[in-house]
A = this chain, B = another copy of it.
Amino acid sequence: MLINSTRLFAGMQEHRLDAIVATMPENVTYASGFWAMSQWIRRGPQAYVLTPAPALGEPVVIASSGLIDLAADPDVWVKEILRFGKFVIERAPDAKLDVHDSRIAELMAQDDESDAVDALVKAIKMRGLRRARIGVDEIGILPQYWDRLAEALPDATLVRAADVFRYARAVKTAEEIRRLRRSAVIADLSIQSALAAAREGATEMDLARAFHSRTIAEGGLPVLGCIGVGTRSAMTNVQPSERKLVRGDVIRFDVGGRYRHYRADIARNGVLGEPSRKLAQYHRAICIGLERAIGMIRPGVRAADVFEACVETVRREGIGHYQRSHVGHGIGLDGYDAPNIAPSSADIFEEGMVICVETPYYEMGFAGLQVEDTLVVTRDGVESFMMSGTELRVV
């Protein structure tokens, strides 16, 4: 299972919630295993998971009938499902259905609950929660639907609860760690493929195609592909163009796809030919800063302290004016999970957090340099997911 139920229940208890409703795609998948495709690739389609507090009953998935094959997937561990909306799936007259199709047939035989809110209201009443205090992830539900939910449940108290999911998701389960590790490895391998395509005259798009193709070949899907060369590398979110590589160009990768819905986000740099003295010195400084940050991380350490030490180290090691708003973040179904490694952060590292630590440096007219590793916090330190080193790769 993906969900860290212990932590979700602790978060619910802290906010005195009798139940919580997932509405944004990351939280729906997290709370049930249900990958509600239309919700992931569009804005507006509704899918929910109602999770009552312990002893108040089992969770319920609310799925549109058009997604019922995904709700019937064996990866979905929540077994009670309410469906809504008209959709037609026929059945061959004498067919012996396999397990997955039998499950689809079973769910399609259930009533059509009309629409997402009606189905959610029914689920809440089924669980005896009509007078409950219910946390609702406010990010994925349409505002009109929130209003209708409040009207249909006049005796319930609805409170915004996206932050409770964010709190729960911060400490990963074993299955999440497995997927995140593979996702990071795919991104790492994809950078190697892109660097193998780097030569004089190759374009940023050539590198991007090599990068994404390897991601696909390894079973991932592209998401983040900031790949810039020369002075363009200094653009924070540089999108690959037809700009050609020339000797002396730095190459910056800030990249990562998805593997089984889990994100990657890593960064590395290459250079075509020998680096200038400044490039080598600055790159060395950000690598040492990253090393310093990673070396400090273990359960109980404050994220803000890691930020300070990291920035201080980069300054001392060669970029005296180095400034950052953060030097890392958690990663999971969302590309930016808790914790936030920033000066004002109150977050404290815990075992099982999967985090991206990064020391980007953007200088217009010169270059963008960035190293970013992904790692899991262990009982007494960290374990890195990275296969490649942070060194500036001369190609």
Interface residues of A (CB under 8 A from B): 24-26, 35, 37, 41-44, 66-70, 85-92, 95-98, 100-101, 104-105, 138-140, 142-144, 146, 160, 162, 205, 209, 212-213, 216-217, 219, 221-224, 231, 234-239, 321, 323-325, 334-336, 361-366
> Quick one: which of A104, A105, A237, A324 has the most chain B CB within 10 A?
A237
A336-B42, A365-B101 known; A69 vs B216 contact (CB < 8 Å): no
Chain B residue nearest in CB terms to A137: B43
Contact of A37 among B35, B237, B334, B362 (CB under 8 A): B237
Contacts beyond the supplied A87-B325, A101-B234: 12 A-B pairs with Cβ under 8 Å? A26-B43, A41-B223, A69-B236, A69-B237, A70-B239, A88-B325, A90-B321, A92-B365, A92-B366, A101-B231, A139-B142, A221-B222
Cβ–Cβ contact A324 & B88, under 8 A: yes
Q: Report the separation of the CA atoms of residues A234 and B143 in the bound assembly, to the nearest whole angstrom.
A: 34
Residue in A138, A236, A325, A336 whose Cβ sees the most chain B Cβ within 10 Å: A236
30 pairs, CB–CB < 8 Å, chain A vs chain B: A24-B43, A25-B43, A35-B239, A42-B336, A43-B139, A43-B334, A44-B162, A66-B236, A67-B237, A69-B235, A69-B238, A86-B325, A87-B325, A88-B362, A89-B236, A89-B364, A90-B321, A90-B366, A92-B364, A95-B231, A95-B364, A97-B364, A100-B235, A101-B234, A101-B365, A138-B142, A138-B144, A143-B146, A212-B221, A213-B213
Contact yes or no, A43 B364, CB < 8 A: no
CB distance from A307 to the nearest CB of B (A): 13
With a cutoff of 8 Å between Cβ atoms, the chain B residues found around residue A42 in the complex are 334-336
Alpha-carbon distance between A324 and B217 when the two chains are bound, in angstroms? 36
Determine the distance from Cα of A366 to Cα of B44 in the docked complex, in whole angstroms.
Answer: 32
CB neighbours (8 Å) of A67 from chain B are: 236-237
Q: Which residues of B contact A44 (CB under 8 A)?
A: 139, 162
CB distance from A189 to the nearest CB of B (A): 15
Contact B325 A237 (CB under 8 A): no
CB distance from A75 to the nearest CB of B (A): 10
The reply to whether A216 and B223 contact each other, CB–CB distance below 8 Å, is: no
- Chain B residue numbers with a CB within 8 Å of A365 are 91-92, 95-97, 101
User: Least Cβ distance of A186 to chain B in Å?
Assistant: 13
